[in-house]
Chain A
């Protein structure tokens, strides 16, 4: 059955010369999300890979908990937790080679860290000291993108440029279910398919865009179905199954690298925490739904598989926890220690060569700061106050 017949859409009878460019059938996602853990395919999975995934998942879970705690202490301005989504982020990031690029969305700190970015630097944006804490070229990770879906065309452009240069570089672009409604999502997928760019789009469908459930976001049978209209394959995967996510992403990356063009992968998962610490999730979802998803926890799924196969014992679990604790302790320590950024940095990097106007404004701020320092010694002048609120 073709996708058009399946959707019951109106289909004009084609003129005699008309041929569909592709048969949509092979592009269509399966009806059920692909799973590895708890199925027969699990036996074929590489034990080394599973253990690597496990260690990263445990770290990721701890990272989310630590960052959330830091928002409560006021050390982080905001943190969009990805608890429950660790398998998507890590399974995907580990499917890339070193030379590949990652284009993350604002919730994807774990994927960024899994690419080797320092855990503290990955939090710079959310801490509020600068907009981006790491060198994008050092790890081939674009800055975390706050405006939704806007980074997707960038991924397409970069992958296209790499191919024009003859490099076999693949770009992985991540977006949420809500972000798939943006025009940029459509344009990026269309460009990627027309150019056959080596890009993999990963949608983490965690059920909600802040308060809006998927049913109000799309009428498509699945988000993976959207691929077909652009002429690229769509794949549906259980986003809580790290082995499955890794396998599907790795295949899509291989396909792209070999010149096969883009793939759209939808990972079905769930956001266990609120949207951010500023959000009240009880306004729009039921506890029972959250509980059902807790029973399908990505860390536990993998732990069960590994212990059942004798690849992991109590000591191994403890070692992974210890490693995560060490990372969390370092994160805490840095957040408590790192000094406030220097206000004079405001004027750096606005342009390659600064302007006369910016030099003037820089001098104004320097004079203000010096006066402020003098006054803090000599007592405040009446009414003197710092500008703005925090």
Chain B
């Protein structure tokens, strides 16, 4: 996968481009949500789409998440490919009934006769100083619901490629956008966007031999920073970006862990009952004899998401990751 160095683009711009290209390529693609039209979304991710494709293709809906997703179900039943925006993580909860009871299982209920190609875009996670209900990491709720793909990009190129893949998917995709990375830039050519691997493939972002950090979305840059810092301590860390939580890429993850023998799962969602538990269990089941130490988790605390002034203490940072890596070394020595 190559990126072309032209001018830096933000992750939000890449998402915008992905929707534009998808809408241009397929008249069945419709965008709907709160403030997605005239305003271009509160994060400007849908900027310009209503102007370019008209309000029927990019629609400001009434303020009702269950209604947005519920009507998207009907639209998809009739052959459209809705891309819905939930304004913030915690405001997607009113739509949960539709997601869990219908979106996730319509294919299964109808024995394949009524697939629902819906993309549900949810800005998620903390680190932007939002007031309460604006910083939840809700991925584990979606992961626990069979029938949904759960995808989360961490780079500009992936933001474009994975969103195109999600919209093209014949299954519903919960597309989690790490909102604190919306403004992160990369040299990526919006005029010649690159494709990415299909949904379900993890990628090694940094090869290493001492231990593997397994992460995704908002925690990827933190892990890369930790890997840099670890070098000073003489540790050579590998970093894996999962990109897709469902389906889960056991192959890439296990190959890496077998190489290094040590693994730390890093995410900002809570630890107890969080994604890390599932990931650690899978690694243990598949790589037990290759492990030099137990799989560790570095996660957010098991508390309701804290107020902005305290969130830096809650979110896994470089030091907490390095401490876990240090514990892995100790387990190996002792």
Identify the A interface with B (CB < 8 A). 77-78, 106, 125-131, 146-148, 178-179, 181-184, 209-212, 216-218, 278-279, 283-284, 340-341, 343, 345-347, 350, 355, 357-358, 361, 365, 368-369, 382-390
In contact, B320 and A131 (Cβ under 8 angstroms): no
Kindly state the separation between the CA atoms of A234 and B59 in the bound complex, as whole angstroms.
30
B317 x A388 contact (CB < 8 A): yes
Decide yes or no whether B80 CB sits under 8 A from chain A.
Answer: no
Q: Which of B37, B126, B302 contacts A361 (CB 8 A)?
A: B302
CB B231 to nearest CB in A, in angstroms, measures 8
* A217 contacts across to B, CB distance below 8 A: 62-63
Question: With A and B bound together, what is the CA distance between A390 and B322 in angstroms?
Answer: 21
A340 CB contacts on chain B under 8 angstroms:
309
**Which residues of chain B have C-beta atoms less than 8 A from A345's C-beta?**
310
Whether the pair A346, B94 counts as a contact (CB closer than 8 A) is no
Residue of B93, B131, B309 with most partner-chain A CB within 10 A? B131
Do A183 and B67 touch across chains, with their CB atoms under 8 A apart?
yes
- The listed residue (B133, B301, B312) touching A386 by CB distance below 8 A is B312
Q: How large is the interface on B (under 10, 10 to 19, 20 to 34, 35 or more residues)?
A: 35 or more
Q: How many whole Å from B96's CB to the nearest CB in chain A?
A: 12
How far apart are the CA atoms of A125 and B39 in the complex, in Å? 26
Taken residue by residue from 97 to 132, chain B's Cβ proximity to chain A (1 for < 8 Å, 0 otherwise) reads as 000000000000000000000000000001111111
List which B297-329 residues lie within 8 A (CB) of chain A: 301-304, 306-320, 322
| A357-B131 contact in complex given A147-B91, A210-B35, A388-B314, C-beta closer than 8 Å | no
Partner of B60, one of A211, A341, A389: A211
Q: Does B78 contact A (CB under 8 A)?
A: no
Chain A residues whose CB sits within 8 angstroms of the CB of B66 once the complex forms: 183
Report B49-96 residues with CB < 8 Å from chain A CB. Answer: 60, 62-67, 90-91, 93-94
The answer to whether A384 touches B319 (Cβ under 8 A) is yes
Residue in A183, A209, A355, A382 whose beta carbon sits within 8 Å of that of B229 in the complex? A382
**Contact residue among A128, A346, A357 (Cβ-Cβ distance under 8 Å from B308):** A128
Q: How far is the CA of A390 from the CA of B128 in the complex (A)?
A: 5
Task: Provide a sorted-by-A list of 9 A–B residue pairs whose CB atoms are within 8 angstroms.
Answer: A183-B66, A210-B34, A210-B35, A218-B62, A346-B310, A355-B302, A384-B229, A386-B319, A390-B129
B222 interfacial contact with A, CB 8 Å: yes
Determine whether B232 belongs to the interface, using a CB cutoff of 8 Å to chain A.
Answer: yes
Q: Are A387 and B318 in contact (CB under 8 A)?
A: yes
Which 9 pairs of residues, A with B, have the shortest CB-CB distance?
Answer: A387-B317, A383-B229, A388-B315, A128-B308, A211-B39, A181-B62, A178-B63, A388-B312, A181-B64
Closest-CB distance, A333 to chain B (whole angstroms): 19
Q: Which partner residue on chain B sits nearest A384 by CB separation?
A: B319
| Additional A-B contact list (6), CB under 8 Å, known A357-B272, A385-B229 | A147-B90, A209-B34, A212-B34, A355-B302, A387-B312, A390-B312
Contact at A182–B63, with CB atoms within 8 Å?
A: yes
The reply to whether A128 and B93 form a contact with Cβ atoms under 8 Å apart is no
Tell me, in angstroms, the Cα distance from A360 to B313 when the chains sit together.
Answer: 15
Task: Decide yes or no: A357 and B310 within 8 Å by CB, A146-B133, A388-B127 being known contacts.
Answer: no
* B307–A358 CB distance below 8 A: no
Decide: A383 and B232 in contact? CB cutoff 8 A. Answer: yes
Q: Is the CB of B301 within 8 A of A390?
A: no
Question: What CA separation (Å) do A385 and B316 show in the bound complex?
Answer: 11
Q: How far is the CA of A220 from the CA of B307 in the complex (A)?
A: 38
Interface status of B42 (Cβ within 8 A of chain A): yes
Contact, CB under 8 Å: B232 / A184 = no
Q: Is the CB of A384 within 8 A of B318?
A: yes
Residue B228, interface by CB 8 Å: yes
Residues from chain B with a CB closer than 8 A to the CB of A368 are: 313, 319-320
Please tell me which one of the listed residues B38, B225, B307, B315 contacts residue A284 in the complex, with CB atoms under 8 A apart.
B38
